[in-house]
Structure 1
Amino acid sequence: MKTQEAARPLDAGAKDARGWLARLGAQEDLNFLLTNRIPRIAATRLMGRIANIESPAFTHVALKLWQLFTPLDLSEAKKQRFTSIKDCFTRELKDGARPFDMRTDVFASPCDAIVGATGVVERGQVYQAKGFPYSTAELFGTTQDASVFEGGRFITLRLTSVMYHRFHAPADGTVEHVTYLSGDTWNVNPVALKRVERLFCRNERAVVRMRLTGGQPIALVPVAAVLVASIRLHWLNVLLHVGHKGAKEMPCSAPHVKGQEMGWFEHGSTIIVFVPKGFELAEGIAAGARIRAGQALLKISS
């Protein structure tokens, strides 16, 4: 069976459509209404079913429509034909497309992202946006101790729907535990983060605890969002989604080397990174910065 070819560069009409959508998205009230005042969990489940439809013809049309309104760039994809929307969203990239900074004092970004809120964990409190705090204890859940990150740093990394959706080990180390916390699927865009208190603590998420080879404990917290059908964690061979009925606590011992693929989102969402004291932001890391997987995110303090 023939598969669909990657869409060609956008014409003027498509660029106009994207411009119109950008102007529409700038209207915060309407943006919030369209992306949050809907049956979020039902819409997310529906998106999961649609994304898994194995139809080259349907996929071709869907990606054409997607490119009318978003800057979806498939030029770095390892393959240029896709059998489903999921196949496109979880695409691998060409070899060498995301080189990792291999310096031993560098903690690399696990994913492509737009940097959101960053800061120091103080009295167990961090921020999703200015004036919108939430607690690490609530984010991590009752079974996990987040106090080890007191005085350390947190960085919020937001993946948009058109970005590369796979995430990788930011440094050498071993994944020791995963906690799955079911929840809602609020949009995690800046509009929602400025309006919904404790949003990350409300949404479905996984707390991935890892210990680096230097002994430092870190945590990666992938947070699902509206239309994000699932999160795949390779070392557990498990698919976490709003209908997940399996174990909530998943102890493990999974060695990873820096840059090794850890899993993927099936649409786009957020990863919140936590590190203990002894790390500082890498040059250029600030709210609004665009970063690629492998780029220096943090450095061990001298």
Structure 2
Amino acid sequence: MTPAKFFALIQYPIPHHLLSRLVGYLAETRIAWLKNALVRAFIKVFKVDMGEAAEPDPTAYATFNDFFTRELKPDARPLGEGLLSPADGNLSQFGPVEADKLLQAKGHRFSMIDLLGGDAEAARRYSGGSYANVYLSPKDYHRVHMPLAGTLTEMVYVPGRLFSVNSATTDHVPNLFARNERLVCHFDTEYGPMAVVLVGAMIVAAIETVWAGQITPLSGQVQRVRFDQPIHLERGEEMGRFKLGSTVVMAFAGKVDFDPSLAPKTKVSMGQSLGGVPDPGPEYV
């Protein structure tokens, strides 16, 4: 058994939510010496570049979570052309949605219906469209931005487990992104429907959005919120953030001509062009 498979298997019996909530409490401590020790240790271990931060002094943040979700300098992430990466991270997989399936890792596909919380009608919008997954490692910038301009129509909280979403786990835990707790954000764009799914993970203490504040942790059943008053976000505008690292899954109704220089597990930056805008097709012209 490989170390990666062993790491994946030992996660099954772990009380994911309890561990994540305990870490969450620690990440919100305002005990200065403890907070500063955590921040300094994190910067050293993960080699975080504080020169990009709007506030480069690591002791200036009130909590570890404030440091972790730090704002960058205005010119740190210039916006490219076409479809944008929503976050810093690794472009773990991308391509066409085929027969309701998206690629998680080699040998593992998962269902769009399951990803969207069992909503078959919503999943049909993306049949024949495209998707892309971006994994945020601990050292990355953890705010999530809009890949395209869009108007929010619905937000869906889907309960689930909190497996790690690093490459070791994605390679060995089937249906990982459709198992974990997640927040599905549905948008209308000029290129057709777009779903941006913020996937929770082990020790992710919370997921926030700019329109509703902190959403997770929740529990129980699927919860849907419709937005009758338009919430419009521009391309590249912040939409949410992770309190500790995770994954963003994007889905588009149209086909995306991805940049041919990209490959699975390519390092990308927020605002980097991933390719052209989705082909809206005749239904959305």
Q: TM-score, normalised by structure 1?
A: 0.84
Per-residue CA distance 1:247-287 (angstroms, 9 max, x = gap): 81111221111111111101010001111233211243221
Residues 154 and 272 in structure 1, CA contact (< 8 A), matched pair in contact too: yes
Partner of 2:72: 93
Q: Percent identity?
A: 28
Structure 1 distance, partners of 2:268, 2:143, is: 14
Residues 115 and 157 in structure 1, CA contact (< 8 A), matched pair in contact too: yes
Structure 2 distance, partners of 1:246, 1:33, is: 26
Distance 1:123 1:246, change over 3 A: closer
Residues 41 and 184 in structure 1, CA contact (< 8 A), matched pair in contact too: yes
Distance 1:278 1:28, change over 3 A: closer
Partner amino acid for 2:68?
F
Partner of 1:239: 214
| 3-state SS, counterpart of residue 18 of structure 2 | helix
Q: Equivalent residues in 2 for 1:89-168 (5 A)?
A: 89-101=68-80, 103=81, 106-143=82-119, 145-168=122-145
Partner of 2:283: none
Q: Equivalent residues in 2 for 1:27-66 (5 A)?
A: 27-29=3-5, 31-32=7-8, 37-66=13-42
Residues 204 and 243 in structure 2, CA contact (< 8 A), matched pair in contact too: yes
Per-residue CA distance 1:39-79 (angstroms, 9 max, x = gap): 21111001111111112211211122223432222221111
Partner of 1:290: 267
| 3-state SS, counterpart of residue 100 of structure 1 | coil
Partner amino acid for 2:46?
T
Q: Does 1:206 align with 2:183?
A: yes
| 3-state SS, counterpart of residue 242 of structure 1 | coil
| 3-state SS, counterpart of residue 227 of structure 1 | coil
Partner of 2:232: 255
Residues 128 and 255 in structure 2, CA contact (< 8 A), matched pair in contact too: no
Per-residue CA distance 1:67-115 (angstroms, 9 max, x = gap): 34322222211112222110111100111111112x4xx0111111101
Residues 182 and 242 in structure 1, CA contact (< 8 A), matched pair in contact too: no
Residues 228 and 268 in structure 1, CA contact (< 8 A), matched pair in contact too: yes
Per-residue CA distance 1:5-61 (angstroms, 9 max, x = gap): xxxxxxxxxxxxxxxxxxxxx942554367665321111001111111112211211
Structure 2 distance, partners of 1:246, 1:149, is: 24
Distance 1:36 1:190, change over 3 A: farther
| 3-state SS, counterpart of residue 210 of structure 1 | strand
Structure 2 distance, partners of 1:185, 1:53, is: 22
Partner of 1:14: none
Q: TM-score, normalised by structure 2?
A: 0.89
Residues 56 and 82 in structure 1, CA contact (< 8 A), matched pair in contact too: no
Residues 191 and 254 in structure 2, CA contact (< 8 A), matched pair in contact too: no
Residues 35 and 226 in structure 1, CA contact (< 8 A), matched pair in contact too: no
Q: Which runs of 5+ in 1 are unaligned?
A: 1-25
Which residue, 41, 57, 61 being the options, matches 1:82? 61
